[in-house]
């Protein structure tokens, strides 16, 4: 039997854990080879750790290195087999002057980025690829660029005369986008209110949250209750970006296991038969 393989393409260190850390760990537990690609160095991110923030003049020049170390540790916790860094410069939030900086991922040549991903796809030979939707989940330029490059790479990887020096062609069976359904956001807000906790999304109305997906486009819910403890541990490894007041870390672990046990995805492309609703990214994949 062939080993099933999962490739995740994310913009920054911590995106993998926040959006699908439980799924990565679950796949690893089930014998899936899990590979993560991080597209940028994350050097422009806000430093949330108080101790690091107090030393920002010292920490900022090393932030790319720090985040790489954090990602390495988080992926080790989750059981990820392999991590690839594309090394593009963080573009900053949408509309920031840094979007136009030389070396920024947003300005990178898509043909070049896709070619690098094609080489990874043809080497790893994943059955399933996960990235973001066309809005990059919440409009961040690096997330949008990751979406574009991943879709181009998946299609190019199966065509022999595209990037002929990148290895033998490989056809990916399924592509998913990470998703956060509206109904889940509403449920979380209600739970926090009932528990007397601060609003998890601050004062921003759900309709104005850029990362919310309509329930109609969410096809897949993966039960990750057995791996929630590792997801939380991996989140804590991203110390520069995720503080103790991060919504997923505010609730006791037993509450997270009970109430936040599903990670959601939207099936964007499939070359295998399947139903309208799924509970497994590998549903219908013959390995």
Tens-place pLDDT, residues 250-262: 878 888 888 789 9
Instruction: Indicate the domain borders of the chain.
Output: 5-180+214-270
Q: What is the CATH number of domain 5-180+214-270?
A: 3.40.50.10320
| Digit-coded pLDDT (tens) for 178-233 | 999 999 888 888 888 887 877 878 888 888 888 888 999 999 999 999 999 999 99
Angle formed by the axes of helices 228-237 and 63-78, to 10°?
Answer: 160
pLDDT at 132: 98
pLDDT for the residue numbered 206: 85
Kindly give the interhelix angle for 141-157 and 110-124, rounded to the nearest 10 degrees. 60
pLDDT the model gives residue 85: 98
pLDDT, one tens digit per residue, over 51-83 is 999 999 999 999 999 999 999 999 999 999 999
How much is the pLDDT for 32?
Answer: 99
Per-residue pLDDT tens over the stretch 16-47:
999 999 999 999 999 999 999 999 999 999 99
> Which pair of structure tokens corresponds to residue 243?
């503080």
Predicted TM-score (pTM) of the model is 0.95
Percent of the chain at pLDDT exceeding 90: 79
């Amino acid at each position: 039997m062939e080993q099933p393989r999962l490739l995740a393409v994310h913009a920054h260190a911590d995106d993998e854990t926040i959006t699908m850390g439980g799924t990565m760990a679950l796949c690893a537990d089930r014998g899936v080879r899990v590979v993560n690609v991080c597209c940028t160095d994350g050097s422009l991110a806000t430093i949330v750790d108080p101790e690091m923030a107090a030393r920002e003049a010292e920490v900022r020049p090393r932030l790319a290195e720090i985040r790489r170390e954090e990602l390495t540790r988080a992926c080790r916790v989750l059981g990820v087999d392999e991590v690839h860094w594309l090394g593009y410069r963080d573009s900053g939030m949408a509309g920031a002057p840094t979007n136009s900086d030389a070396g920024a991922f947003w300005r990178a040549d898509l043909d070049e980025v896709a070619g690098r991903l094609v080489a990874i796809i043809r080497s790893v030979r994943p059955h399933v690829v996960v990235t973001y939707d066309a809005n990059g989940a919440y409009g961040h330029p690096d997330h949008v660029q990751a979406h574009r490059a991943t879709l181009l790479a998946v299609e190019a990887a199966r065509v022999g005369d595209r990037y002929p020096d990148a290895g033998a062609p490989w056809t990916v069976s399924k592509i998913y986008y990470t998703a956060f359904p509206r109904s889940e956001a509403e449920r979380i807000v209600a739970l926090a209110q009932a528990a007397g906790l601060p609003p998890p999304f601050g004062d921003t109305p759900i309709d104005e949250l850029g990362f919310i997906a309509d329930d109609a486009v969410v096809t897949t819910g993966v039960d990750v209750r057995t791996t929630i403890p590792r997801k939380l541990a991996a989140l804590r490894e991203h110390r520069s970006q995720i503080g103790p007041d991060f919504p997923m870390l505010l609730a006791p672990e037993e509450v997270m296991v009970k109430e936040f046990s599903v990670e959601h995805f939207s099936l964007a492309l499939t070359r295998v038969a399947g139903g309208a609703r799924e509970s497994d990214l590998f549903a219908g994949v013959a390995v």
